[in-house]
Chain A
């Protein structure tokens, strides 16, 4: 289970997180929403130890990683994978080498077993036969798929998604969402996603949490979340988002 207790973080002179308390259920897809610059990606980076809080605790399956460093932190990170906003593929390697990278570097696997596992993952994300291409030769959607294949190949317990559909057209965004849901249902990993895709995320997430003024303002199952009475949150999810579909907008007002 992932549990954040009183997490505070100041970047420069700006207090970004001001006491985040958040419990993320195991084996479910939880989406964190919030306005731009609210600190959603910063929060995600705290969960995987890329950033350390000024105050507070970050518990991952009974280990507080808030003060962990070096090898101890790496041990906890073995449970994780992360899909970055820009996919963060290694641009000097082919798609195949990117997906094979954690197998070769972490598990020290070689030969046919690597090929088999990489090709299996590439097929699952719809990139069969694309392994020889370099990231620069791929479209934005394909890069996200390749990033997802790299995240899945180590069969992690937890996958973090940092705005996985940013910069994609609506059809491609839907395809990536569907892929994430399908993979989550197949492999039962705990998924934590940061997204702006309102209202789509309500249809795919088990839980939704809203980050507001550096704190979690609301967290609930997605079907309950839309019934919130908090005026600011209602404004954000029904008006302040992109263009909300009529049905959902009517429900909100």
Chain B
């Protein structure tokens, strides 16, 4: 009996948590539609989530493209198919690795910082202070982060795709002396609008997911240093797992 009760309690807690998360994001978007509109805050967050993540995303993209080309070249050579290296690299990156790896990098860099920032504001009563000034924290703090993440992550993914494909070019064509024309023409013939569209759709949903989970965890941080550490860890782990799970479901629908 105790076991069944435990499962019941867990299910109720999980449902409550999901309900609270849903209300959190819906309220934040609802507050965004009410004046005053905080464009400056959105631009500030675009700078933090987007611009400041550029370096790490580019670095990840270069090496992802390079290793894909390296692995792909030697595998394809066994079948005499080096000519399709470009399409193998491009499709892998545009469909899967670009959105997923860029989103994971943004989670690690900006998502964890978001949770820590909001969590510290919660612990030191700065969020309560906003409330007492009749400034809604969801409107002032959370809304701009959600919007900025929705804009920045697809742009970072686009950057990842381009840089990754060039990374593949450097290894596949420049270092391994593959055929340059074949590399680009195979990409041109294999990549369809559907692939690009799918990648963009994934990146938008990942953008929302990262800021949603990380802001929620920060906003509900327990009042202690340990609570802040736990919240940050949970935010990063949950975001990363949800990105991978959601990626699978989206892929199965999009294919």
Contacts and interface: CB of A to CB of B under 8 A. Distances in A.
Check if A and B associate. Answer: yes
Interface in A11-55: 45, 48-50
A89 B121 CA distance: 9
A50 B133 contact: no
B128 A102 contact: no
Contact of B124 (A70, A86, A101): A86
Nearest to B30: A70
A86 B129 CA distance: 11
B48 to A, nearest CB: 11
A84 interface: yes
A207 interface: no
Interface string B116-131: 0000110011101101
Given A84-B125, A85-B125, A106 B135 contact: yes
A78 B131 CA distance: 10
Contacts of A45: 128
B136 interface: yes
Interface residues of A, number: 26
A65 to B, nearest CB: 12
A102 B132 CA distance: 10
Nearest to B27: A70
A160 B129 CA distance: 12
B135 A88 contact: no
Nearest to A48: B132
A77 interface: yes
Contacts of A242: none
B3 interface: no
A87 B228 CA distance: 20
B126 A101 contact: no
B124 A50 contact: no
Interface in B127-160: 128-129, 131-136, 140
A114 B158 CA distance: 42
Contacts of B129: 82, 84, 88, 90
B19 interface: no
A74 B125 contact: no
B132 A77 contact: yes
B125 A101 contact: no
A216 to B, nearest CB: 23
Nearest to A108: B36
Interface string A101-143: 1100110100000000000000000000000000000000000
Contacts of A90: 121, 126, 129
Nearest to A85: B125
B131 A88 contact: no
Contacts of A82: 128-129, 132
Contacts of B136: 70, 74
A229 B241 CA distance: 63
A81 B132 contact: yes
A78 B134 CA distance: 6
A50 B125 CA distance: 11
19 contacts: A48-B131, A49-B131, A50-B128, A50-B132, A70-B136, A75-B134, A77-B131, A78-B134, A81-B132, A81-B133, A84-B125, A86-B125, A89-B126, A90-B129, A91-B126, A102-B135, A105-B135, A106-B133, A108-B36
Interface of A: 45, 48-50, 70, 74-75, 77-78, 80-82, 84-86, 88-91, 101-102, 105-106, 108, 154, 160
Given A78-B134, A91-B120, A102-B135, 4 more contacts: A81-B133, A88-B128, A101-B133, A105-B36
